[in-house]
Amino acid sequence: MIDDDLKKLENLKAPAVSESAKERAVNAAMDAFDESQLEKKSAATQGIETETRPTSITNTIWSGLMNSILKPVWDMKPAAMAAVAGVMLVPVVGVIALDNYDVGNPEIAGLETRADKAKPDQITVKRDVSKSIKASEAEVRKPLAENFAASGQNSLADGSVDTSRVQTASKSMRKRSIGQVRTTAAPLQNGGRIAAEPMPVPAAPTIDNEQFPEFKDSGVKAVATSPVSTFSIDVDTASYSRVRRSIMDGALPRKDMVRVEELINYFPYSYPLPETKAQPFKPTVTIMPTPWNEHTKLMHIGIKGFDVETAEQPAANLVFLLDVSGSMSSQDKLPLLIKSFRLLLQKLNPTDKVSIVTYAGRSATVLEPTEASNQSTIINALENLKAGGSTAGAQGIEQAYRLAEQNFVKDGVNRVMLATDGDFNVGISDPNQLKDYIAEKRKSGVFLSVFGFGKGNINDTLMQSLAQNGNGQAAYIDTLAEAQKALVDESGGTLFPIAKDLKIQVEFDPSKIAEYRLIGYETRALKREDFNNDKVDAGDIGAGHSVTAIYELTPVGSPAVLVDPLRYGDAKSAAAENAYGEVGFLKMRYKLPNENKSKLLSTPLNMSGPDDKQDAVSQDVSFATAVAAFGQKLRGTPALDDMNYDQIANMAHAAKGDDKFGYRSAFVQLVRMAGSLSKTR
């Protein structure tokens, strides 16, 4: 009979295995296993103290399969036998794979359950990833059953466990990794039951692929040979936020992560405003003693742009260009990005337009221009964003610019706001090509701002280049509080430009000043001839922005002079008859947002008499000086070797002033933390 059946089966094809059949087979096998485990005695294992290895799971489940499934198969018709035979292979292969996976997986191999015979009321479960599996099948699943009992909601009246509910939960648990269950090693409560709590799968270690522009600190310049200093202003703040995150993560920042001017300009300052808005700002100059060198002076140049009231804001056409590639999935990236851009909506006028372009493997317009009054539509578009795919950033930039140009608002604000965690790996990936593309596009009146999120993949070099060439700001958002600062509290500076291509040039009198050193702005240096060339791009300043530049000056005759005088130089420059009075001349060039010809501001630089004291300077100037000292200390600038972090923190604390939003208090704590970290490395 059997031979006849086999001959009938010889030419038959096995029917396709359905997903439901697979699921029924697997569940039947696992239910049989669970029932057998719950019926076992809880007595200690005989023989050696360590229990049996989970490799016996294979034998146990195979036995369950034979008893629960295989036996009735022999009574089936031939075609049904073939189908079931195919289905049975699925759980068998799965069990074998699981068995091999368990032995080689350090997360699972570390689970160990052991009873303390001396203290039966205090059983603990210990997790040791360095040891092989020692827990038996029953002990691995015991915490699950006992947790149900401990909850009180899954126990019977006599206190025993409702096994049917445990089996139901077991099915659900099979869909998770064993590594997602953590048992607490604490004294047991409620009759000696072990509590189990779900634990998220640990995130993969962050790989540091971050890129920052390398540069050397501005060196000391001899006035006799280099009397003129020229640079572009910088209102970016990304460096400060990134430095803060590094310190808060327990590590001093990399040297190339620290741009001192961005640390200084992160903070708002109350410098004097111009008398009329026809002139968007005016410089305020202070010369004072240097806190880290008694033989030099600090020259502090402060600029404060006028702010605009909400009712005076120009119409805005904003395109959110959002990176939704696979690397953006973590909570400090796309989820934080969505929350951040939601905050920005409250600062827009009802008729302002918002569009959303996303890019991953390809770019897409997910929201056509929509008035800000229709917040629900904009928010829904943001909330529906999902991360996945590669990073076609250049393609997204091109599409965003097209959309901004199609909806261009004359005499208004037209801006692309790029938010990303890092690089562009599809399309135009060469930084120079991107820089040229964006530099060309800014001529149309569409500007670009860049916002970085997350860590591990930040391409700060590219972000800085894009923002600088797009007439925009580069910021780094690591918390929702930082988003509040950049996109709400300082939205005027972020969105509404009041001047562009702002350049500063200082000429020093060699009879008064022997040497000077510009603190920061290394990546913003310009040639002397660039100052009067309106075709040379420079920094931009937004409504309410503060800009600070600090020089360290060495007067003629000071023991701090580092450069020997020229043998054949002008003898008159060797000594100053009067070291005070006018010591230099400041010139500034800028363009109004909708103009292409620059305007000039100039003012003499005067040093007061020998009685000037640092106590007499404003709190803004003193605080900016403390931030400058901190940035130089982080970069390892030799001039700060004799000043420690505690002294910097004390200087900043004394100059906190009103500190409306607590930024300065937070800075003091950051300096103190950096001091502690510096002692542990």
Tokens at 194, concatenated: 């072990």
Helical axes 619-635 vs 645-654, angle rounded to 10°: 160
Give the DSSP letter string of 580-608.
SEEEEEEEEEEE-TT-SS-EEEEEEEEE-
Residue with tokens 């490395």: 681
pLDDT digits (tens, 9 = 90+) for 521-567: 999 999 999 999 999 999 999 988 999 999 999 999 999 999 888 87
Average pLDDT over residues 467-494: 92
Confidence check: pLDDT of 136 > 60: no
Give all domains of the chain, ordered by start, each with its CATH number: 2-198 (no CATH), 221-239+248-307+498-678 (2.60.40.1230), 310-493 (3.40.50.410)
Query: What's at 611, amino acid-wise?
Result: D
HEC secondary structure over 199-250: CCCCCCCCCCCCECCCCCCCCCEECCCCCEEEEECCCCCHHHHHHHHHHHCC
CB 453, CB 420: distance < 8 Å? yes
CB 316, CB 413: distance < 8 Å? yes
- Label residues 169-188 b or e (16+ Cβ within 10 Å = b): bbeebeeeebbebebeeeeb
CB 509, CB 224: distance < 8 Å? no
Alpha-carbon distances of 480 from 51, 332, 555, rounded to whole Å:
50, 9, 46
CB 451, CB 419: distance < 8 Å? yes
Provide the pLDDT confidence category of residue 120 given band limits of 50, 70 and 90.
very low
CB 357, CB 402: distance < 8 Å? no
SS3 304: strand
- Higher-confidence residue: 173 or 679? 679
Task: Give the pLDDT score at 164.
Answer: 44
299 half-sphere exposure, CB direction, 13 A CA radius: 25
Give the whole-angstrom CA distance, residue 65 versus residue 29: 5
Provide the pLDDT confidence category of residue 104 given band limits of 50, 70 and 90.
very low
Residue 410 gets which letter from DSSP?
A: T
Task: Give the pLDDT score at 676.
Answer: 96
CB 646, CB 673: distance < 8 Å? no
Calculate the CA 566 to chain-centre distance.
50
- Which has the minimum average pLDDT: 5-19, 175-189, 489-503? 175-189
Confidence check: pLDDT of 340 > 90: yes
Confidence check: pLDDT of 418 > 60: yes
Backbone angles phi, psi at 318, to 5 degrees: -110, 135
Task: Give the pLDDT score at 93.
Answer: 43
pLDDT digits (tens, 9 = 90+) for 293-332: 999 999 999 999 888 776 678 999 999 999 998 889 999 9
- What is the residue-averaged pLDDT of the chain? 76
Give the whole-angstrom CA distance, residue 328 versus residue 337: 9
CB 552, CB 301: distance < 8 Å? no
Query: What's at 17, amino acid-wise?
Result: V
Task: Give the pLDDT score at 428.
Answer: 56
Average pLDDT over residues 605-633: 84
pLDDT digits (tens, 9 = 90+) for 375-409: 999 999 999 999 887 655 567 888 999 999 999 99
Share of the chain above pLDDT 90, in %: 48
- Which has the minimum average pLDDT: 71-75, 109-113, 342-346, 619-623? 109-113
Provide the pLDDT confidence category of residue 615 given band limits of 50, 70 and 90.
low
- Which has the minimum average pLDDT: 78-87, 94-103, 489-498, 647-656? 94-103
Alpha-carbon distances of 445 from 462, 508, 516, 563, rounded to whole Å:
21, 37, 38, 46
Provide the pLDDT confidence category of residue 168 given band limits of 50, 70 and 90.
very low
Provide the pLDDT confidence category of residue 239 given band limits of 50, 70 and 90.
very high
CA-wise closest residue to 623 among 678, 555, 550, 677? 550
Alpha-carbon distances of 163 from 25, 36, 143, 148, 283, rounded to whole Å:
20, 11, 13, 10, 78
- Rounded to two decimals, the pTM is 0.69
Average pLDDT over residues 281-291: 94
Provide the pLDDT confidence category of residue 31 given band limits of 50, 70 and 90.
low
Average pLDDT over residues 37-58: 42
Element (H, E) at 627: helix 619-635
SS3 471: coil
Beta-sheet pairing, 413-420 with 447-453: parallel
Give the whole-angstrom CA distance, residue 135 versus residue 102: 12
CA-wise closest residue to 111 among 96, 129, 98? 129
Task: Give the pLDDT score at 223.
Answer: 96
Residue 619 has a CB neighbour count (10 Å cut-off) of 16
CB 229, CB 235: distance < 8 Å? no
Give the whole-angstrom CA distance, residue 318 versus residue 306: 22
Confidence check: pLDDT of 618 > 80: yes
Backbone angles phi, psi at 535, to 5 degrees: -85, -10
Q: DSSP E strands: which ranges in 487-635?
A: 497-508, 513-519, 539-542, 546-555, 581-591, 599-607
Tokens at 263, concatenated: 């640390």
Confidence check: pLDDT of 196 > 50: no
When mean pLDDT is compared over 44-53, 517-526, 611-620, the highest value belongs to 517-526
CB 362, CB 397: distance < 8 Å? no
CB 292, CB 640: distance < 8 Å? yes
- Higher-confidence residue: 10 or 187? 10
Task: Give the pLDDT score at 655.
Answer: 97
Task: Give the pLDDT score at 12.
Answer: 58
265 half-sphere exposure, CB direction, 13 A CA radius: 33
When mean pLDDT is compared over 105-109, 276-280, 413-417, the highest value belongs to 413-417
Query: What's at 262, amino acid-wise?
Result: E
- Which has the minimum average pLDDT: 535-544, 574-583, 586-595? 574-583
Average pLDDT over residues 190-203: 40
pLDDT digits (tens, 9 = 90+) for 49-100: 444 434 444 444 444 544 454 444 444 544 444 444 454 444 444 443 434 4
Provide the pLDDT confidence category of residue 367 given band limits of 50, 70 and 90.
very high
pLDDT digits (tens, 9 = 90+) for 429-454: 566 777 788 888 888 899 999 999 99
Tokens at 528, concatenated: 């002397």
CA-wise closest residue to 200 among 331, 339, 109, 105? 331
Give the whole-angstrom CA distance, residue 229 versus residue 41: 85
Task: Give the pLDDT score at 610.
Answer: 57
Confidence check: pLDDT of 18 > 90: no
Residue 330 has a CB neighbour count (10 Å cut-off) of 18
Calculate the CA 559 to chain-centre distance.
45
Give the whole-angstrom CA distance, residue 436 versus residue 434: 5
Task: Give the pLDDT score at 17.
Answer: 60
Average pLDDT over residues 235-259: 95
Beta-sheet pairing, 546-555 with 513-519: antiparallel
Task: Give the pLDDT score at 460.
Answer: 85
